[in-house]
Amino acid sequence: MRILIPILGFAPQGGYRVLSELANAWIRLGNECAFLVPSTSAEPYFPTNAKIVRSGRQGLLKDKHSKRKHTGADNVMSLFAGLRQIGKDYDIILANHSLTAWPVRWSKTGKARKFYYVQAYEPHYYPVRQHPIKHLMARLSYLFDLRQITNGGTYKGPGLRPLDVIPPGIDLSIFIPKENPGTFTSDKEIVLGTIGRNEPYKGTSTALAAYRLLKQEEHRLRMNVGFGNVTPADDLSITPIKGDSALAAYYRSVDILVVSCTGQHGAPHYPLIEAMASGTPVVQTGYFPGTPGNSWETADTSVEAVAAAIRQVINSSSEVRSVKAIAAREIVAQTLGWDAVARRFLEHFGE
């Protein structure tokens, strides 16, 4: 089977990791796979074995990379041009973002079957007053006659009618559990971790505020922020991270990971999945695959509620922490290995 994935450009966000890993898994399973990208796209942030095809507004380019700066509209038009040329050569074309759904739906691509992997409910990310055009385009994309697959079962909106819900996977050979899952590394300090993100809904500011609130009574607490993207402070340490091996080591190095996002609850969340696979206790605000049986969950996303959940982890016995951490690793290992996830897509591609 020949699979083409048009994207707006390679980037370090988790959604692009998903696409790179799916492409790698489909190739391992005997299929051909390629990315169609605008000529201005950077090189892949997440390694991929798939072929990379670049297109400008006039069509495919022979040179490796264009240094011209294009707008978002230019990138969409570049995908239109590329799909017109090579779309018919593929069996499957996979849209994966609202702005890729437009060229996938409206380009003439022969007998290629068209799918749309919805990785987020994008209208939430584009408030109508600030981004009216992107908000409208995202909403309209769900009305297209593309075969939809979503990564979570909680997205609600006109036109959303997924054939299946397939969460993202994880490389279980990299995200391995720490030697003693659930245990703290020292009696003298307790290291909290959180992934530093700029977007308010990612909850980094809530995690930091909860840490500082709780530190007033629990002086052993330390906070180690993965990636940075926060204002440096004396009470924070920051771990720069490049690549999955470094990220996995970061999760194993902290005693508790705090996931305090807001919105789209029930959807998959990568830091949660990765920390669970690493055997690290997690405080989380209602994301897949977290449950009260494998993490410390709070539906309340306030600073006080997140701090209270962290306190519960600290006050739990090492046996309780271990049981939850082992259960977390097991659910990830059973359901979210990349080849298993990729096969679920292939079942639909072949129908």
Residue 330 pLDDT class (50, 70, 90 cuts): very high
Question: Hey, how many other C-beta atoms are within 10 angstroms of the C-beta on 81?
Answer: 18
Whether 73 and 27 have beta carbons less than 8 Å apart is answered as no
Q: Cβ atoms within 10 A of the Cβ of 269, count? A: 27
- Spatial distance between the Cα atoms of 91 and 113, rounded to a whole number of angstroms: 6
In the chain, pLDDT over 90 holds for what percent of residues? 85
Domains and CATH numbers, the chain: 2-167+337-349 (3.40.50.2000), 190-335 (3.40.50.2000)
The per-residue pLDDT of the chain, averaged, comes to 94
User: What Å distances lie between residue 349 and 87, 117, 188, 205, CA to CA?
Assistant: 16, 12, 53, 41
**CB contact at 8 A, 333 and 165:** no
pTM over 0.95: no
Q: Quickly state the pLDDT bin for 272 (edges 50, 70, 90).
A: very high
What is the rounded distance in angstroms from the CA atom of residue 272 to the CA atom of residue 310? Answer: 15
